[in-house]
Amino acid sequence: MKYLPNAVIFLTVLVLGVVNFTPGTYLTGWDNLHPEFNFLLNIKRSLFAVWQEYQGLGLLGGMGHAADLPRQIFLYILSIFMPDMYVRYFWTMLTLFVGGLGAYFLARDFVIRKSTLIGRLWATLSGVFYILNLSTVQQYFVPFETFTSHFAVLPWILWSTLLFLSGPTLRRYALMFLIFLLSAPSYYVPTLFVVTSLILAVISVSHVLAHKNVQSFFSSFKIFFALFITNAFWLLPFVYFTVINSQVAVTNKINQMATQTIFLENKQHGNLLEVPLLKSFWFEKIDPDLEGRFNYLFLPWREHLSNPLILILGYLLFAVVIIGAIRAAREKNWLNSAYLGIFIFSLIMLLSSVPPFSFIVDLLRKVVPLFGQAFRFPFTKFSIALSLFYALFFSAGALWISKRFSFEKVPQRVVLLLSGLAIFLFMLPAIGGNLFYKKEKIAIPQEYSDTFKFFRKNGKNTRIANFPQHTFWGWNYYKWGYGGSGFLWYGIDQPILDRAFDPWSRQNENYYWEISQAVYSRDLPQFAKILEKYQISWLLSDQNVISPVSPKSVFTEEFETMLVA
């Protein structure tokens, strides 16, 4: 029975993996990383990540590109044992298992604190809740590696930090150091590093204030020293970009058009009805389905939550979380204070339409424009941390309820079983095959692999202009189902002038305005001058690219006719 909790979490993830897997497809779309298209190429780019040569005209890396290096190396080794198309499936499900197991260890050692079988089963409830909640579904429905990695490592970061603080030995420090290092892929979007740092700051400050001695201060210093050293390889290049070029990310066309809208979408759902359920703007997203018809992205989940009984169940689960939080507040020790601090801060960041919390967030956005840009998606940045503390407080609250009603002769195991059943019922669509968006599971046509092979053999020191260039958004849809920020450059060494890179470079954005003007005015002489100006050697026209909202704007036939003429 020693490994029963591990088995429960493994079986939960295994069932999710089996029912949500579609053989013969890639898990791809929306924001995605695909190093499996050419592992050695992408590993090389991560090793030399300060300057992103392949991104259009070349630019300073505006994200934590090098941070993905540990994951890429792991996947490269993994690819020896499985087809490339299944590598991303495996990684995504692995993060679910690792995160759930981490939540179990964190709850077992620093929340429940009981080594008996029943104690470990209560901790298992935290692991299951962390895997099965609406926040997790919204992070995994259209998975992006930085968020799935953050889900996996955050419980382990907290567990190793608390283990070190409870007895600061060299062995425990080495373990924490290793976990910090392996956590790097979660910081591909560097704002998640800020979130992790804030969480560790709350824990460290609470520890120092509680113990008030030199050792507690130096232990906290060692934590942040390890955090910096293990992440310096990607953090220093990003800091350099922030100092030199961050204004570009604020003032480029895409972000000028999108940032305020995105924040308002988040704010619309940052209310007292939806945040308790961990529900967000994702439920309002519209997307063309595989037949080209526009519908809600989260349609199966919207239908599930339209059932009043399911909604009531969701609020009951939140009520148990609140009971657990209240119990933590009453116990009054430094660790519970830290838990509550992180829990409340994460809630404030999500409750962006509820005064006075909304005033705090709005003030930060006005005073620090870079804050507004970095945290325009507060849900994606803070919901994982919040869901983790939901999970911890849920098991604590359910345990208290089981003890409170022990006089009614209701065994703890009955309450435990009912709690687990409630979680599964609330998250039933995930078990029914809706953990991933159906459009994320698609077969990529062979012609793209052929294109990758062609450019491996031809024109090493050249630049590619891809077409159509019908929108500045850097988000394309394809006849065969893909919709997202793009994928060609993961398999092609040559720089590609794609709109996905415009947020980090004015020069790339200026190219777009010039080339679109020449194409849509059918000005062939001007078009030729632009090719010469930007040293473009290849024109890559993809007839699979479509525009569901404005089919004629793609201009593919007209463009190719212009070239022939």
- The pLDDT of residue 409 is 60
- The pLDDT of residue 374 is 55
What is the average per-residue pLDDT within 241-262? 80
Is 80 exceeded by the pLDDT of residue 515?
A: yes
What is the DSSP secondary-structure string of 199-258?
HHHHHHHHHHHHH-SHHHHHHHHHHHHHHHHHHHHHHHHHHHHHHHHHHHHHHSHHHHHH
Q: What pTM did the predictor assign?
A: 0.95
Tell me how far CA of residue 66 lies from CA of 37, 52, 513, in angstroms.
17, 11, 30
Instruction: Read off the pLDDT of residues 284-303 as tens digits, 9 standing for 90 and up.
Output: 999 998 888 899 999 999 99
The token pair at 243 is 């100092």
- The pLDDT of residue 523 is 94
- The pLDDT of residue 440 is 95
What is the average per-residue pLDDT within 335-360? 89
- The pLDDT of residue 383 is 96
- Under DSSP, the state recorded for 280 is -
- The pLDDT of residue 16 is 98
- The enclosing H or E element of 59 equals strand 59-60
Do 43 and 69 form a contact (C-beta atoms < 8 A)?
yes
Q: Of residues 267 and 478, which shows the higher confidence score?
A: 478
Instruction: Read off the pLDDT of residues 373-395 as tens digits, 9 standing for 90 and up.
Output: 556 778 999 999 999 999 999 99
Predicted confidence band of residue 406 (pLDDT cuts 50, 70, 90)? low
Instruction: Read off the pLDDT of residues 71-105 as tens digits, 9 standing for 90 and up.
Output: 999 999 999 999 999 999 999 999 999 999 999 99
Is 70 exceeded by the pLDDT of residue 251?
A: yes
- The enclosing H or E element of 393 equals helix 378-404
Is 90 exceeded by the pLDDT of residue 157?
A: yes
- The pLDDT of residue 265 is 79
- The pLDDT of residue 370 is 56
- The pLDDT of residue 414 is 87
Phi, psi for residue 334 in degrees, rounded to 5: -60, -35
- Supply the mean pLDDT for the chain: 93
